[in-house]
Structure 1
Amino acid sequence: MARRTVTRWMGWMTAVWLTAGCEGPAPAPTPEVETYDWRLPAGLPKPQVPQDNPMTEAKVQLGRRLFYDKRLSFNETQSCASCHEQARAFTDGKVHGVGSTGQVHRRNAQGLANIAYATSLTWANPALTTLEAQALTPLFGNEPVELGFGDKQDVLMERLRADPELVARFSEAFPGEAEPVNLASLVRALSCFQRSLLSGNAPYDQYLSGGKKDALTAQMKRGMELFFSERLECNHCHGGFNFQDATVHDGSSEALLPFHNTGLYNEDGNGAYPRVDPGVIELTGVPSDMGRFRAPSLRNVAVTAPYMHDGSIATLSEVLDHYAAGGRAHGLDSSRVSPVQSSFVRGFTLTPQEKEDVLAFFDALTDTDFLTDPRFADPALHP
């Protein structure tokens, strides 16, 4: 894939908005007022929401229907949910994503649990910081093809406008729009639904915030102590209420955009990652950005295998092996420590029992209510 700069990418995104008949590179502010009942799990703060897209129940419900609607792919074979399955915490279980045309992607599909708190929305693009902007990539992107509309925005709009029931839902969600079925409204509704995907009732949450001291087993508690210890260093990149450093909420003073090199590859002894996907450096050209990717949230991590940006690690046990070795590349050849990998990836030793304890703690991060909540399910199955 040819190197693209952040400026070039932003220019492409702006062109999408303009050719779709939108005014400028982003939706214009509206006089809407937030009326949504977040039903926040104990311990989770209120998400930060763009001023020009306040949450309403009508937009969330419209976004839910659009999320599961295969008409959002050009050949009508896939919906957003095809790569983001609720039972897998909105991942897909595949090593690499597969688009509507059958094209295999270079990256693993990320989960959407608590995506409302994320400061960046892909594995390695610092420019994508809002769900509204991110939605344009799967809809219209060609590198790779996901939903496959490319420059055919008019086809998508005509398709949606031909459904009277859907038009009525757009009108309800966006009553101030002269033509409610438009690209800006589409991405706003999708974004509102995604922001509603809050997960915060795992055994860990019940123990920490719910007052249920028996929610964690003794083994889970031992694993929790190890996870948060300086010995393992896990919490430096997977800390806070969302087990993710790239997190923002309504009370945040600033949004951080950290990306990390975890020593997954070191092809030349100087830290090089495979040319097919070298990380943030692909967009910035900055040498220190080689191999840097976003740390995902660990909520529901036990059901989101395989792992890493390229899906190259199959199990959580192997993930622990990777970090215990000080990076997989280092583990394969102890003389090849990457000079650009994170200083927190420096290796550690676990006994077999301690490893099982940490894995048990990962299980304690699984929110089974979230994985089955009908509010987030296909409306065709759960009206």
Structure 2
Amino acid sequence: MNAARRPAIRRYTGVLAAAAAGIATLALVACGGGGGTQVDDTSVSQGDWTWALPLSMPLPKVPVNNPMSKAKVALGRFLFYDRRLSGNGQQSCGDCHLQSLAFTDGRATAIGSTGESHPRNAQGLANVAWNATLTWANPALTDLEQQMLVPLFGTSPVEMGLTNANLPTVLQRLRDEPRYPAMFAAAFPGEADPWTVGNIVRAIASFQRSLVSIDSRYDRWERGAATLTAAELRGLNLFNSERAECFHCHVGFNFNDQVVHAGTTQPRTPFHNTGLYNVDGLGAYPGDNLGLITMTAVASDMGKFRAPSLRNVAVTAPYAHDGSVATLEDVLDNYAAGGRFIAAGQPHAGDGRLNPYKSDLIPVIQLNAQDKADIVAFLRTLTDEAFLSNPDHANPFDSAASAP
């Protein structure tokens, strides 16, 4: 990219007020999450929140019933890291989303508050505000407020473990925190009783939208403020070439192919079968991780999952929807081979290269060892060290100085 295309940083003060089509107000326990939002670009609500973004990065879409504010983000940060929000008081959102790992957990699959294993790998939260869908394979979960009800109240598997029965106890725990009354009042001014699940969800969603990662060495190189090595530049060129095919699913400022922003009217939400499995020779994936087919019942959706963003990918191992790919080098090997072959006698044995539902974007790719090393070198430039250590994103309970 030449200097003329390298973006500057721009600042947006206030929030785009979206015209919401069919957004339901977040309920207490019935928990009807908001639906998709539509944005009226001519309507801007001034507030105290500032987006500082490069010119190449559009404003995120923010629901009309949950505008950004500093007070809401501050409260959401505390709630995100508060273990008292789980049914048994043993786990917070932050226990499965560690800042140092770009808000993943380093495990193959997540473990809930009761010790139950999740079938899926915990996804990163960097730039999550721009994701068109928010789980590995559910096209219906399109906003953070809606999605958050799943880990809070889900029963299969149990994550945070909230139920109708324990909810009053959980809310009382939060009421007993001396810092929270003033924080809830500031985040939701004018409400006689702001202690609701809806407000908890709105606050945490606001904090999650604040998790913006735009200062990797690659970003600085785009701005003309850093250099890339010869290997990294070769990797970048390969990444964006038809030879390596990476850019088809990992494109644009967020390095994924499901992006929504304030100006989006018809978001694209593709899902992909990458040939990881073929357990019966007919295309099947392991029973607890069938992919999009679970939601659609369409046979060709077997094994289809969302392509994650590659921002900070070097610190988010292991990879794939089930954490079954250990390293970036292994990821490249699987893609170069056109899918993964698992020998007989191993769990989920089969030849994913022959999966009949595999995406056409996963052919055999002629990459030698140097090519793969160069692509991995480029991917490591996407690590945003400032994001991984930003005190505004850190656990506030770890520092007495963070008290409001």
Partner AA of 1:323 in structure 2: Y
Contact preservation (8 Å) 2:278, 2:350: no
Give matches, 1:89-168, under 5 Å: 89-151=102-164, 152-168=166-182
Corresponding residue for 2:96?
Answer: 83
Corresponding residue for 2:21?
Answer: none
For structure 2, the residue ranges without an aligned partner over 5 or more in a row are 1-23, 38-43, 344-348
Structure 1-normalised TM-score?
A: 0.90
Deviation of residue 21 (structure 1)? Answer: 6.9
For residues 335 and 59 of structure 1, the distance between their equivalents in structure 2, rounded to whole angstroms, comes to 46
Deviation of residue 33 (structure 1)? Answer: 5.5
Corresponding residue for 2:358?
Answer: 341
**Structure 2 CA distance for partners of 1:39 and 1:86, relative to 1, 3 Å:** same
**Structure 2 CA distance for partners of 1:88 and 1:215, relative to 1, 3 Å:** same
Deviation of residue 44 (structure 1)? Answer: 2.4
Partner AA of 1:74 in structure 2: G
Matched, 1:20 2:29: yes
For residues 345 and 44 of structure 1, the distance between their equivalents in structure 2, rounded to whole angstroms, comes to 28
Contact preservation (8 Å) 1:44, 1:200: no
Corresponding residue for 1:7?
Answer: none
Matched, 1:379 2:396: yes
Corresponding residue for 2:6?
Answer: none
Deviation of residue 339 (structure 1)? Answer: 1.4
Deviates further, 148-157 or 321-330: 148-157
Identity over aligned pairs, percent = 52
Corresponding residue for 2:40?
Answer: none
For residues 77 and 328 of structure 2, the distance between their equivalents in structure 1, rounded to whole angstroms, comes to 31
Partner AA of 1:338 in structure 2: N
Matched, 1:238 2:250: yes
For structure 1, the residue ranges without an aligned partner over 5 or more in a row are 1-13
1:285 aligned to 297, 304, 314, which one?
A: 297
Deviates further, 288-297 or 157-166: 157-166
Deviations 1:20-44, CA, capped at 9 Å, x for gaps: 277x6549x9x98543112225642
Corresponding residue for 2:87?
Answer: 74
Deviations 1:310-348, CA, capped at 9 Å, x for gaps: 000000000000001101148987796111111100121
Corresponding residue for 1:62?
Answer: 75
For residues 313 and 33 of structure 2, the distance between their equivalents in structure 1, rounded to whole angstroms, comes to 35
Partner AA of 2:369 in structure 1: P
Number of aligned residue pairs: 364
Matched, 1:300 2:312: yes
Deviates further, 137-146 or 325-334: 325-334
Give matches, 1:215-230, under 5 Å: 215-230=227-242
Q: Greater strand percent: which structure? A: 2
2:367 aligned to 332, 343, 350, which one?
A: 350
1:187 aligned to 201, 204, 219, which one?
A: 201
Partner AA of 2:129 in structure 1: A
Matched, 1:174 2:188: yes
For residues 112 and 336 of structure 1, the distance between their equivalents in structure 2, rounded to whole angstroms, comes to 30
Partner AA of 1:320 in structure 2: L
Contact preservation (8 Å) 2:281, 2:350: no
**Structure 2 CA distance for partners of 1:334 and 1:163, relative to 1, 3 Å:** closer
Q: Secondary structure at the match of 2:48?
A: coil
Contact preservation (8 Å) 1:330, 1:337: no
Q: Secondary structure at the match of 1:135?
A: helix
Partner AA of 2:218 in structure 1: Y
Deviates further, 172-181 or 112-121: 172-181
Deviation of residue 282 (structure 1)? Answer: 1.0
Deviation of residue 162 (structure 1)? Answer: 2.6
Give matches, 1:252-263, under 5 Å: 252-263=264-275
Structure 2-normalised TM-score?
A: 0.85
For residues 207 and 353 of structure 2, the distance between their equivalents in structure 1, rounded to whole angstroms, comes to 45
